[in-house]
Amino acid sequence: MSVTEAPPAPPAEPEEPRKLTLRKPSTRKRLVPYWLLLPGILWLVVFFALPLVYQASTSVQTGSLEQGFEVTWHFQTYVDALREYYPQFIRSLLYAGTATILCLLLGYPLAYLIAFKAGRWRNLVLVLVIAPFFTSFLIRTLAWKTILADGGAVVDVLNTLHVLDVTSWLGWTESNRVLATPMAVVCGLTYNFLPFMILPLYTSLERIDGRLHEAAGDLYATPATTFRKVTFPLSMPGVVSGTLLTFIPASGDYVNAELLGSTDTKMVGSVIQSQFLRVLDYPTAAALSFILMAIVLLMVTFYIRRSGTEDLV
């Protein structure tokens, strides 16, 4: 075996027109893409796809830690898990959905600002958007405990403006505290996933030709109409990928719920985590995790179909 027989480094070969090649490309050359794909794809199959199969099988097992688990096709686990933990599921979807909408509402003006208004400050603002990433997100989430602390500035201001009276009437906060309430969790989720909304929004806004705005203005469109009829539709790819990048991780998150919330704000991620790592009830945990996956994938597929942007991959 000569040295050249080793899988060659990817030669940059554009496909030659068939007519000119006298013989078929050698087998070795035809195998090049497979050699390139093999290690990475194998990794994903063994450590991403196969685990999902294991999890599916675990979810229909019965048994105990001492005696071992056995596949008994016990689908009742799913029914029981849903019956017991449906509040956490609904809460997860509700919190993640609210956080996604808030991210869109908060993130759009900032992305717009960077794309069209920042001028020579553009790079600086972009750095400021990405900069928080450089401090561990757990530390930053803990900082919200300080910001929203009882008797702190934020709570005082909200109290003076009687905002907390309204929000506590709606059940979002308690009458004199924000920490350990749904609002704190949603606030943390929104904060943590904002950059994932802003960056795709910015990318798609930046591609818009500024002359389109001028044209709309020339055709007597008010700024609001220009936004509604020109800017927003053109930024749809960013809106779709931004909402997905926010909603998917937020729906499975348990860090914000655990650090900023209380037992009444637990999300489904917390339940999966404690079933797996503390209660050690593997079938229930696997079933919960599977239901969450199914819900998210269904919602994502439906959403991508509806918005007609399938070239996200």
Partner 1 sequence: MSVLRWIRRNLIVIAGLLTLAYMILPNIVVMVFSFNKPKGRFNYAWQQFSLDAWEDPCGVADLCGSLSLSLQIAFWATLGATALGTMIAFALVRYRFRARGAINSLIFLPMAMPEVVMAASLLTLFLNMGAELGFWTVLIAHIMFCLSFVVTAVKARVMSMDPRLEEAARDLYAGPVQTFVRVTLPIAAPGIAAGALLAFALSFDDFIITNFNAGSTVTFPMFVWGSAQRGTPVQINVIGTAMFVIAVLMVLVGQLIASRRKSNARN
**Restricting to residues 140-159, which ones interact with partner 1 according to CB under 8 A?**
140-147, 149
Bridge-partner residues for 63, per DSSP?
69
Tell me which of 64, 72, 76, 135 binds partner 1, using CB under 8 A. Answer: 135
113 binds partner 1 (CB under 8 A): yes
Among 140, 183, 192, CA closest to 158? 183
The least distance separating partner 1 from the CB of residue 170, rounded to whole angstroms, comes to 21
226 binds partner 1 (CB under 8 A): no
What gap in Å lies between CA 187 and CA 89, rounded to an integer? 19
Tell me which of 76, 82, 87, 133 binds partner 1, using CB under 8 A. Answer: 133
For 10, the token pair is: 């990817």
189 binds partner 1 (CB under 8 A): no
Three-state DSSP at 271 gives helix
Query: Which one of the spans 30-38, 158-166, 169-177, 212-220 is the region binding partner 1 (CB under 8 A)?
Result: 30-38
Alpha helices (H) in the chain, listed in sequence order:
27-44, 50-59, 76-112, 122-130, 137-147, 153-160, 163-170, 182-206, 210-218, 223-226, 232-234, 236-252, 255-260, 268-274, 282-307
21 binds partner 1 (CB under 8 A): no
The least distance separating partner 1 from the CB of residue 269, rounded to whole angstroms, comes to 5
The least distance separating partner 1 from the CB of residue 271, rounded to whole angstroms, comes to 10
Query: Which one of the spans 29-37, 83-91, 157-165, 205-213 is the region binding partner 1 (CB under 8 A)?
Result: 29-37
* DSSP codes of every residue in 101-153: HHHHHHHHHHHHIIIII-GGGHHHHHHHHHGGGGS-HHHHHHHHHHHT-TTSH
The least distance separating partner 1 from the CB of residue 286, rounded to whole angstroms, comes to 6
Query: Which one of the spans 83-91, 111-119, 160-168, 212-220 is the region binding partner 1 (CB under 8 A)?
Result: 111-119
Count of residues engaged in binding partner 1, rule: CB under 8 A: 90
